Amino acid sequence: QVQLVESGGGSVLAGGSLRLSCAASGSIFSINIMAWYRQAPGKQRELVAAAHTGGSTNYADSVKGRFTISRDNAKNTVYLQMNSLKPEDTAVYYCNAYLRESARAPYAYDYWGQGTQVTVSS
């Protein structure tokens, strides 16, 4: 059983900062990718940022230069530092991990956190 537990959401004024954290626990052999997605009301869930095992990262164009994703592989934890927040960043943010539960598992699977609300007011 794998669990992803997020923390760090909240309300902030435009221009402010928040830091999200997500810790993965349970039966984990390896984590290929840890990522953050978000979903605003009436919109589809979208990728915000992803951190790959090798160290590479990728970002949605809308957050480049403002958000930074980082991983602590020893703790199976991913962070999202969000600076210069805008009202359009308001959404529920979901942690995602693409991982294998054991060495015998032939495939990796996606796991999701419960989501944390981020609200940016102008």
d(CA 60, CA 71): 18
d(CA 70, CA 27): 22
pLDDT of 46 higher than 90: yes
Contacts of 12 (CB under 8 A, 6+ apart): 18, 85, 118, 119, 120, 121
pLDDT tens digit string along 7-30? 999 999 999 999 999 999 999 999
Residue 5 burial by Cβ neighbours in a 10 Å radius (0-12, 13-18, 19+) = middle
Q: How far out from the chain centre does Cα 80 lie?
A: 6
